[in-house]
Amino acid sequence: MGYKEQLNYFALKETVTINEKDHLEIAGVDTIDLANKYGTPLVIYDIKTVRNNIEEFKNALATYPSEYEISYASKAFSSIAMYQVLDQENISVDVVSGGELFLAKEAGFPSEKIHFHGNNKSYQELVAALDYEIGHIIVDNFHELKMLEQLTKKREQKIKVIIRVTPGVTADTHKYIMTGHTDSKFGFDLKNGQAEEAVRLAQKSEFLELSGLHMHIGSQIFGTESYVLAMDQVLRSAKEWYISFGFQMKVLNIGGGFGIQHTPDDEAVSVKRQVETISQELVKLLDLYDLAYPILQIEPGRSIVGTAGTTIYEIGSKKAIPGIRNYISIDGGMSDNIRPAMYNSKYFASLANRMKDERTTKVSVAGKACESGDMLIMDLDLPEVKAGDKLAVFHTGDYAFAMASNYNRIPRPAVVFVENGREFLSIRREEVKDFMRFENHLPVDF
């Protein structure tokens, strides 16, 4: 099979197949039927893949000699139904705003399995977290530490906290999604003594129960080296603080950031191998520093939902500039997936209604926003396309819908879950009349 033919099979797996109509089928559901029913753009989540991805993390962590906790980073994609799926799989979640906390709560997600992140949590957000008696607050800075100290004292309420430290390690990824280097807005700096001060303050607090430390070095990281370097920094400090003031690291959260494959040209990755290696290296470091094995928390977002998402668009206009470029336009773009414009991210796509047709022409896929930079995919081989064809863009489950906007007043797409031949509308499509929920007409006397 030639490369072009092989491309037709990228993203196909147990749950993602081609049916007898030559349509893309996910979990036994014809994606063209879904597009006809719900309209386009349409985001489809293959829930079995979400469950399999979680299972892979569980298998990878099974060899860690103490307890572990998988805390899904909701920011990658959240919906009430997704929180319910995560709960069915018996994992935890992290939230980064009052909005995500609200949704998790509405989903009935167990409060003790919710952990709260963020570099500027507001007073109201901290109150909401205390009201809901969540599992941990991951404290990011002195302002928050002080506010939380005062709040818990006033309420005479205890809460478990984890101190987020910045290990001073540069991860090999896009600079917009690196977080572990010293010049970062997140966390207490390990090298200049601020992290130690925060740990001391939390340890002597009456109402804050200090569980341990958190680090997160960035996102879409493929290797293990920067995790190991960062863990080494964190554990060395944990040992020093144990000796100097009896700090006990009951929990170590090493963040998320595990990379996924978005296109056939990306190297195939094994999250299992990556996490297994990190966990084994962690055990070596713990032994080296003679530290007790903490509960190991990880916070994957992208690697749980990314490969489970497919976006279906309808193709409309075309513009051929001979010798230069063939543009084809879709009915969405940067309003439902800002990642190409923001991080230069690459995607791969097929014609969902003609999966096996040979890819004979090179096209560039333009979004519909009034912005030259709204190009979803550059230089993609596709069959000759015509208006009305459906384009399936693969592996869009991570941070695409989650970062969607109403730029150009384009309504956000619907989100459908599919599993075992069944479909379910998780988030309904926005309609232009929804904009009126926020609008007021100018008063006559204004």
Residue 352 Cβ vs ligand LLP, minimum distance, rounded to whole Å: 23
Measured between alpha carbons, how far is 270 from 329 in angstroms, rounded to an integer? 34
Indicate the SS3 state at residue 318.
strand
Among the listed residues 48, 115, 216, 368, the single contact to ligand LLP using CB under 6 A: 216
Catalytic residue numbers? 370
Which residue, among 276, 330, 323, has the nearest Cα to 298 in the 3D structure? 276
| Contact of 348 with 309, CB cutoff 8 Å | no
Residue 297 Cβ vs ligand LLP, minimum distance, rounded to whole Å: 10
Take residue 342 and report the two structure tokens written for it.
Answer: 């923001």
Measured between alpha carbons, how far is 345 from 352 in angstroms, rounded to an integer? 21
Among the listed residues 180, 301, 383, 411, the single contact to ligand LLP using CB under 6 A: 301
Residue 136 Cβ vs ligand LLP, minimum distance, rounded to whole Å: 12
Residues between 347 and 406 that touch ligand LLP (CB under 6 A): 399
- The mark string for 101-130 relative to ligand LLP (x by CB under 6 A, - otherwise) is ----------------x-------------
Considering the complex, state which of residue 315 and residue 334 has its C-beta at the smaller distance from ligand LLP.
334
Measured between alpha carbons, how far is 10 from 179 in angstroms, rounded to an integer? 31
Kindly report whether the peptide bond that precedes residue 340 is cis, defined as omega within 30 degrees of 0. no
Spatial CB neighbours of 434, under 8 Å, sequence gap ≥ 6: 411
Measured between alpha carbons, how far is 384 from 351 in angstroms, rounded to an integer? 10
Binding footprint of ligand LLP, residue count (CB under 6 A): 20
Residue 381 Cβ vs ligand LLP, minimum distance, rounded to whole Å: 25
Indicate the SS3 state at residue 6.
helix
- Tell me if 339 contacts ligand LLP by CB under 6 A: yes
- Tell me if 299 contacts ligand LLP by CB under 6 A: yes
- Tell me if 166 contacts ligand LLP by CB under 6 A: no
Measured between alpha carbons, how far is 127 from 159 in angstroms, rounded to an integer? 11
- Tell me if 332 contacts ligand LLP by CB under 6 A: no
Question: What does 174-226 look like in DSSP terms, one character per residue?
Answer: -GGGB-SSSS-SSSEESTTSHHHHHHHHHHH-SSEEEEEEE---BSSB--SHH
- Tell me if 302 contacts ligand LLP by CB under 6 A: yes
Residue 330 Cβ vs ligand LLP, minimum distance, rounded to whole Å: 19
8-state DSSP, 153: H
Considering the complex, state which of residue 41 and residue 300 has its C-beta at the smaller distance from ligand LLP.
300
- Tell me if 297 contacts ligand LLP by CB under 6 A: no
- Tell me if 340 contacts ligand LLP by CB under 6 A: no
Q: Which residues are near ligand LLP by CB under 6 A?
A: 73, 76, 117, 177, 179, 216, 219-220, 255-258, 299-303, 339, 343, 399
